[in-house]
Amino acid sequence: MSCTTTENKMPLIGDPMPKMEVQTTHGVMILPDDFAGKWFILFSHPADFTPVCTTEFVAFQKISDDLKALNCELIGLSLDQVFSHIKWVDWIKEELGVEITFPIIADTGKIASTLGLVHPGKGSNTVRAVFIIDPNGIIRAMIYYPQELGRNIDEILRAVKGLQTSDANQVAIPANWPQNDMIGDGVIIPPATDVKTAAERPKQFECYDWWFCHKKL
């Protein structure tokens, strides 16, 4: 019988990103230390030289400048060897005219096991996972997709913007922000926690009720 301990449990939102030394297409890196002071996105893909993953890498590269403007970096990962990553990146540049500028981790299986990236019912390939890590090395969001479903890359960019906006303004972010059907590009004020504050909220902000107030930034 096996058991899960605190030491080897899969990290959760709000946990520190596990420290690990990784081999990448840009050389050996230490995560999350090498991105200290920056946000970064660690994403896994099932395999190199596969159609859906190729579309994702091109899409990730196309938002890389937008992410850099947000002080956010990208790093990919799969169970392929580093020479496979290098050849695939070369193919993407030669055949599609897109240069992949972010590093890709060549995982032996240890990282995938630590982060819960392997779906036992789908063989040994990694699922499409996304971890958004803040400048303090804390996991702020985790998104998992099955192998057969490509990611919406714009949503990942939106998530980074939303988290940064929330942190900077101490607000919550509505559905489909910044194009929410109810409050547009507005943000939500945290709910009141006492009677006096609840009574004052409608005088200070636009509100549907005392517990649902919002504002423009």
Confidence band for 50, pLDDT divided at 50, 70 and 90? very high
Instruction: Calculate the average pLDDT of the chain.
Output: 93
Residue 143 has pLDDT above 60, yes or no: yes
**Taking the domains of the chain in order of start, what are their residue ranges?**
20-151, 170-217
CATH 3.30.1020.10 fits 170-217, yes or no: yes
Exposed/middle/buried for 21, CB within 10 Å: 0-12, 13-18, 19+?
Answer: exposed
Residue 104, CA distances (Å) to 23, 188, 215, 217 in order: 8, 37, 40, 36
Confidence band for 8, pLDDT divided at 50, 70 and 90? low
Q: Residue 120: its pLDDT value, please?
A: 73
pLDDT tens-digit series, residues 55-84 = 999 999 999 999 999 999 999 999 999 999
Residue 146 has pLDDT above 60, yes or no: yes
Q: Residue 38: its pLDDT value, please?
A: 98
* pTM of this prediction exceeds 0.75: yes
Identify the architecture of domain 20-151 in CATH. 3-Layer(aba) Sandwich (3.40)
Q: Is 53 a catalytic residue?
A: yes
More confident residue, 8 or 27: 27
Distance CA 146, CA 83 (A): 25
pLDDT tens-digit series, residues 149-208 = 999 999 999 999 999 999 999 999 999 999 999 999 999 999 999 999 999 999 999 999
Q: Residue 2: its pLDDT value, please?
A: 31
Share above pLDDT 70 across residues of the chain, in percent, rounded to a whole number? 95
Q: Residue 163: its pLDDT value, please?
A: 98
Choose, from 53, 72, 207, 213, the residue flagged as catalytic. Answer: 53
Region 88-117: mean pLDDT is: 95
